[in-house]
Structure 1
């Protein structure tokens, strides 16, 4: 009798590997959905001086996927459809778009400029995250000591843009992959 040996097919994956690589991560991710979209900006009731304005976060909605959240956020910014409800602020300048999961962990964030969102690349390591936290804290400290209201807001805004890279470790790889896609640019 001749023993038969089977060559492992490159396309064959064990059920354990499928569970560990595909099913369990998808189930865990689904527990974090829907994703919430919000916008940080400067609000005021009149177009007057900067002293009467204040920072405000506007909730924009929810999406079932990171891809959908990116598209929905970009569409709202492109249409200028951020603060349009009747009870909204008459003057709102959007600054940063945020996408967070159900646990309010950051999935992705981007700076809003000229009607587009410049999505920030997530940090790659915990060491890089610590450097960003240190720099953002330094900027916020400078803002606290600054007497000029507009200068303090500018420093806080720079800190917030830096912190936009502080994507939760669970979402870092997904967010980095999304930013590599052409439609995210």
Structure 2
């Protein structure tokens, strides 16, 4: 005699493994922290410095994206009042364990979210390329060419923005495939 599972019941082990455990694992990584990386130039004589502004913590990735987009579109960065020369460069969403959820370049008050890497092999290629670019930036800095070094470092940072934590890759890819409200 063969038992049929047409009634819609699933074994408890399957429910635990596929539904409950992933939800619990995700809950341990919350809240998500929304931040903004940018440059400040305190004085013409001084070198440009990087500054990270923590904006807010939220409990879901969609809310984090909306919050980041709203703050960037308004140009109203909490804590930037003391940094009168703050120039935003990257919006970053991280989990409690500092795993990257999503990041994007800020251009003309809009966030250009970077697609997450699809595999560990792609992540290794990006790390290699970003390291090569940082070496070029170091060489440019050694020659006294600060502007070129800064530009190259920005390119490396943008590549590294794709290095989403493996736990969040599918979520980030799904978020970027959703149509965004205009």
Residue 80 of structure 2 contacts residue 86 of structure 2 at CA under 8 Å; is this kept in 1?
Answer: no
Residue 26 of structure 1 corresponds to which residue in structure 2?
23
Alpha-carbon distance, 1:10 to partner: 7.9
Structure 2 unaligned spans of 5+: none
Distance 2:120 2:45 in 1: 37
2:175 counterpart (157, 178, 182): 178
Alpha-carbon distance, 1:9 to partner: 2.9
Alpha-carbon distance, 1:13 to partner: 3.0
Distance 1:84 1:39 in 2: 11
Structure 1 pair 103/79, CA: closer, same or farther in 2 (3 Å)?
Answer: same
Distance 2:181 2:122 in 1: 23
Residue 43 of structure 1 contacts residue 92 of structure 1 at CA under 8 Å; is this kept in 2?
Answer: yes
Alpha-carbon distance, 1:160 to partner: 0.2
Distance 1:78 1:104 in 2: 25
Structure 1 unaligned spans of 5+: none
Distance 1:61 1:134 in 2: 32
- Say whether residues 1:59 and 2:54 are aligned partners: yes
Structure 1 pair 17/133, CA: closer, same or farther in 2 (3 Å)?
Answer: same
Q: Deviations along 1:9-47, whole A, 9 cap, x unmatched?
A: 38443332222111111111111100111111111236x
Q: State the number of aligned residues.
A: 179
Alpha-carbon RMSD: 2.1
- Secondary structure of the residue aligned to 1:33 is coil
Distance 1:22 1:184 in 2: 30
Structure 1 pair 83/142, CA: closer, same or farther in 2 (3 Å)?
Answer: farther
